[in-house]
Chain A
Amino acid sequence: DAGITQSPRYKITETGRQVTLMCHQTWSHSYMFWYRQDLGHGLRLIYYSAAADITDKGEVPDGYVVSRSKTENFPLTLESATRSQTSVYFCASSESGHPYEQYFGPGTRLTVT
């Protein structure tokens, strides 16, 4: 299906485990983003990528790693999950000429126990 997809949609993991959240878009958008959404904090940018092999930190990058070897994929890895990383994670993409008109995926609800 066309669009932006995230997997898994729900994930429960234990403290200290590594977990990877996947994001895939079919539009060939240049920009891709990872946000986390928590009550009381709204949406906060974790990492973003302007193109394949180019990634930059956002507002809250600590504890996360990203890569972008292909334009269409932008995985987010929690190297050693902590309870404070329990959140809903959204991936988004946008065209190079309109970086702020972002298309969001359905989100991944991650619980770290």
Chain B
Amino acid sequence: GESVGLHLPTLSVQEGDNSIINCAYSNSASDYFIWYKQESGKGPQFIIDIRSNMDKRQGQRVTVLLNKTVKHLSLQIAATQPGDSAVYFCAAPEGAGNMLTFGGGTRLMVKP
């Protein structure tokens, strides 16, 4: 079964607000997590990753938080822009050959 999963299939935010996309995982041995962004009609694009020895990692306008106690990670997007509209996937290595298993995805819609 799926070991990474997103909490909400759709998230709607106002332009300029912060967005928070959540993901839960079940395998406590998971030591690496990745977020991908997929715009309509395109392939997924790597955003940011985090190792289990970290609680937080920041990129450009994005922050990933990892809570190993409750096996939860989140992707925070600051000052959400229309170009952030996409489906966001969390992923972790496991399964066949320890390759990536993707969660179901959350669609982020940005209202002008």
Contact = CB atoms under 8 A, between A and B. Distances in A.
B87 to A, nearest CB: 9
Interface in A42-82: 42-45, 48, 56-59
Q: How large is the interface on A (under 10, 10 to 19, 20 to 34, 35 or more residues)?
A: 20 to 34
Given A48-B97, A56-B96, A43 B49 contact: no
Q: How large is the interface on B (under 10, 10 to 19, 20 to 34, 35 or more residues)?
A: 20 to 34
Contacts of A104: 42-45
Contacts of B25: none
Given A90-B44, A107-B42, 9 more contacts: A40-B104, A42-B104, A56-B96, A56-B97, A101-B34, A102-B46, A106-B42, A107-B41, A107-B43
Interface of A: 33, 40-45, 48, 56-59, 90, 92, 99-107
